[in-house]
A and B are shown apart, each in its own frame.
Chain A
Amino acid sequence: MRSARSFAALTLLAAVAAVVLFVLHLGLGTVWIPPDRVVLALLDRPTDPTDLTIVRELRLPRAILGLLVGCMLGLSGALLQVVMRNRLAEPGLTGVSTGGIFAAVLFLAGTWGLPSPGQLLPFVVLVGALAGGALVLFASSFRGRIDPLRLILTAVIVNAVLGSLTSIVMLNSQQALGGILSWLIGSLNGRVWDDVWLALPWAAAGIPAGLLAARAANLLQLDDESGRALGLPLQPARVALFGLAAVLAAGAVSVSGAIAFVGLMAPNAARVIAGADARRVLPLAALIGCVLLLAADLVAQSLSIRPPIPSSSARVGLPVGAVLAVFGAPLLITLIRRSIR
């Protein structure tokens, strides 16, 4: 499993899978467009002019977001597992998901007399998410030191508190907060280019920086004394890696809501395939994150539900977060059974 050749082969396989899923994703929708026509439309040589509009204007943003969000969550989880020294760590343990959702609920409950609060929502979620991450980091540092275990416990507590506050605001709210449900579970339904532009800067900065942190991550995986003896300043390194994980997760949450499981599954799968060296685990976790999210979103798109809203009979796609939880859990359990005996 761990030889260099099989690692290269599996990485290539994952990359090919990501491309195939991306093309299929663009084909799927109310009208099925076969892969060859999707590719031609992407290359600006559509066989049918409507392909161009459907593929490039309507479907491309969602597929790109699937790619970016999967990548960000996979990498964020992998970094966090290093900082927290725990393979159960996932992007939600940065405090960004609960922070983002609490901000969203607070914003929607207040409406603040704004004409179109919906458009501002992703920004509000982003600010809340970053604040949640900062809160966890601040609350867990003691005399300027970050300890992995203290960080985990603090994150769990902060998440519990923010979750409770979210419930309280929702219960007290006069308005229907049905829209918040899709943020709670995470969805890519109806995403447009504006959402891509919101997530892109975080992805463009966070993904390369996260991958470049591999060597620091490797040293943090050793015991503290060994890492320090090799000359790594542990505390700044932990803060930097946590910050990267939080920024990546915040960028993802701001456009998709709190998608669970990808950030837990991707790094664990990467470790089963590639061993422990962060130079392999980090890129592979990002790649597997893309594949998982695109695959799950394909399923989510094809399984639609009719929500029990009296005024509407429209069918909507399942939120991708729900698909991931349902199909992801057995996959993850299988993986863990095989790797940890």
Chain B
Amino acid sequence: MNHVEPIRLAQVSAGYGQRVVLDGLDLGLQQGTITAIVGPNGSGKSTVIRAMARLLPTRSGVVLLDGQDIRSFGPRGIARLVSVLPQSPSSPPGLTVRELVELGRFPHTGLFGRLGVEGVLAVESALTLTGLADFAQRPLDELSGGERQRAWVALALAQGASTLLLDEPTTFLDVRHQFEVLDLVASLCTSRDMTVVMVLHDLVHAANYADRVVVVDDGRIVADGAPAEVLTVELMQTVFGVAARIFTDAESGRMFCLPIGTGS
């Protein structure tokens, strides 16, 4: 393999207080692909993302960014390579979309540097790509849930990092807005050759938007591969504890995973 992996977790263990959440995890990402991380509640899905951006320090093991130990980067150095969209981000009431997106340039400007031409261009292109150019002057709290989520994606894009980590980006969104956000992420992956990792609850989204599905259970990876290989009736039973039907809709070509009960 010639490409250096944008992020690699090698034997990573991490946790909160006494609790060990990730236990010797190995995971490498491939440039320009979408990886979905799925798993039951409390399995450690979000912790994987937090470890990747050093939002949570590792107990043991190494995280590599572009082949280099993440500990050799400063906080802003990491933020120039990796953008994170947390699960429930919040902004102060009255903050406009443009003001929010400009904050994405912090990794480049620091506390006192100027936005500069490069920064202005990055902000403009992030607004355009997310379809928010007309909303730039609007306060975030006046937007719909879907538009607001797009604004946070725009913030992450303005950062100019080549890896984007999203923690349950579709939670709290209605079905149409879920598709909007996922389509946006998929198009970014292609147009900007970005590497994307999404923590998802909805396995149908994982099946249809990800190149690769990683199933995490109890801090370990229990399955990893193309959606069709990974998402099986057996896996649904053993990992999620539900009986499910898995089929592909002939008309749309989309794969469905339909849980039908706890199966006992």
Contacts and interface: CB of A to CB of B under 8 A. Distances in A.
A42 B99 CA distance: 41
Given A225-B86, A230-B79, A276 B91 contact: yes
A228 B137 contact: no
Interface in B60-99: 74-80, 83-84, 86-96, 99
B91 A231 contact: no
A233 B110 CA distance: 11
Interface stretch (A28-36, A102-110, A148-156, A216-224): A216-224
Contacts, number: 81
Contacts of A223: 86, 88-90
B176 to A, nearest CB: 25
Contact of B106 (A3, A221, A232, A276): A232
A277 B75 contact: no
A275 B91 contact: no
Contacts of B79: 229-231
B15 interface: no
Contacts of A229: 53, 55, 79, 83-84, 86
Given A2-B139, A229-B83, A276-B94, A222 B106 contact: no
Nearest to A234: B75
B112 A215 contact: yes
Nearest to B77: A231
A235 to B, nearest CB: 12
A219 B92 CA distance: 10
Contacts of B88: 223
Nearest to A222: B91
Nearest to A82: B92
B87 to A, nearest CB: 8
Contacts of B74: 231
Contacts of B159: 230
A276 B55 contact: no
Nearest to A1: B94
Contacts of B93: 276
Interface string A174-193: 00000000000000000000
* Max count, chain B CB within 10 A of own CB: residue among A233, A271, A277: A277
Given A230-B106, A231-B79, A225 B84 contact: yes
B246 interface: no
B75 A231 contact: yes
B76, B89, B111, B112 — which one has the most chain A CB atoms within 10 A of its CB? B111
B12 to A, nearest CB: 18
B6 interface: no
Contacts of B106: 215, 219, 230-232
Interface in A235-284: 271, 275-277
A304 interface: no
A212 interface: yes
A88 to B, nearest CB: 14
B109 interface: yes
Nearest to A272: B94
Nearest to A280: B99
B95 A226 contact: no
B139 A222 contact: no
Interface string B154-166: 0100010000000
Contacts of B96: 2, 275, 277
Interface in A1-17: 2-3
B92 A221 contact: yes
Nearest to B88: A223
Contacts of B84: 225-226, 229
Interface of A: 2-3, 212-213, 215-216, 218-219, 221-223, 225-226, 228-233, 271, 275-277
6 contacts: A2-B94, A215-B106, A216-B111, A225-B86, A230-B107, A232-B75
Given A222-B90, A222-B91, 4 more contacts: A225-B89, A231-B77, A232-B106, A271-B94
